[in-house]
Every structure is written in structure tokens, then in C-alpha cells.
Amino acid sequence: MRRILVTGAGGQLGLTFQEIADDFPEITFDFKTSEELDVANASQVLATFQNGEYDYCINCAAYTNVEQAENYPEKAFEINADGARNIANACKENKVTLVQISTDYVFDGEKGTAYKVGDDTNPINVYGRSKLEGEKLIREILPNHYIIRTSWLYSKKHGHNFYLTILRKAQAEEELHITNAQRGCPTNTENLVKFILLQMVLGNKPFGIYHFTDGKPMTWYDFAKQILEENGLSEKAKLVLDANYRTLAKRPKNSVLS
């Protein structure tokens, strides 16, 4: 029986872990929301690990608001970098294997083809820089780790994400202005969760960095069209291509992960 701590359990990825936990009776889960465990609080993290007797920690705790990270970089780094360091230190002291969720935004988007694990990183926004710093700290501190870079993560049931936002606005008959200036791979949280549990926790993959997506590159506009088609809303929705859609944070033009 493997015992796993899942941090950030109130987010869309953490809620997906909770949803399918019963499908893995060989695993005992301990779910901690960000309110129950503040990863930026080193002493609180250490106490949780000392009391938990965990085999694995899956760190879903993250500051993921890419836009707001530009205005509050200290908060982004506090959770995504300092939090990762605190988790890694606690894992090392208690002989726990860490699974860290990272992002396609560690790349600058200038590559013409899909990014491989060994490609040079060069984030162009605060969120990407904070997640990359978390990666570096984990690699420095803890040998037994998995870092999984994923992209355009969405749940069809939980959280605030592109999929649910498009669905809500389309049902309300709001006009949807969506850009085609960025290209990536949308990834369903259920698929990522199953990959982690089957390959990292129950499997025997070597430690290191991995890329995981659902594997189909597209633009945000393409993704919006797919969402509308899946839900029978293509005729009802008002979808407008907006190539000049402005955001506060710079976004990589191509963040397709191989």
C-alpha cells in the first residue's frame, strides 16, 4: 500500500485526484488544500511530512494565474518556487518521492517545432520564471523526483479554466473573442492524473523531467471550436477570431510539448 500526500487538493488537478482516488485501492491518499497546508510555510510543511509517513508527494499547489503573476510576482515565486523548495526539503528529510507539476511556459515559444525535455528553457513571463525556479530548486535538493511539464490544463468539471469558461459564455450567448496567435496542446486533468498514478506511483519510470499532454497541437481558437462542437453549441455560440487579443503577460507563440 502506497501512501500519497496531494497538496493543492482544492484546485482542478487536486479535485481530479480526489475524484478518481477510489479507482486505485492500492493507494492511500491524504488530500490537503492550500488552506490546510500552505506550501510557502516551511515549518508547516515539515510538520505535515513528519506526521504523515508518506511514500510520495504530488505537489499540485501552485500560483497559476498567469495574468495576476505579472502584478504580484512575489506571490507567484512564494508558492511556485519557495513552496517547491519547502516540499523538496521535507521530501528529502522524510525519504519521500516528489512528483512536481510544471508547465510549458518554461519555454519562450520561439522554436518552430515541439519542445523536447532537453531543450533550453527561457520563460518570458513571471509565471514561467517562477515555475522554472521551482524546477531548479527541486533538482538541486532532491534526487528522487519527477517533474512533469504539461500544458493548457483543463477539467470538464472543476476549477476556473478555458474549457469551462468557453462553455459558460457560449451557453449565456456571450460573444467569444479568441486568439489564434498561440499554439499548444490542451490536456485533460483526468489523463494527467492517470499518467502520474500509473507511471510514476505504480510504475517504475526513472526519476527526471517528463512532458505530458494529450498530444494534439492547436490554437486557442481551434480549442474553442472543439469545445463548442463537443457540447452542441457551434450554432448557438458567437465565436470571433481575434488575432490581436491583448494580455498583460507575454505568452509563448508555440508551447507544444513533444
Active site residues: 127
Q: State the Cα–Cα distance between residues 41 and 236, nearest whole angstrom.
A: 47
Cβ burial 125-155 (10 Å sphere, 16+ → b, else e):
bbbbbbbbbbbebbbebbeebbbbbbbbbbb
The C-alpha atoms of residue 246 and residue 75 are separated, in whole angstroms, by 23
Q: Tell me the C-alpha distance between 62 and 127, whole Å.
A: 10
Q: CB atoms < 10 A from the CB of 58, how many?
A: 29
Q: Which residues contact 78 (CB under 8 A, 6 or more apart)?
A: 40, 63
d(CA 205, CA 202): 9
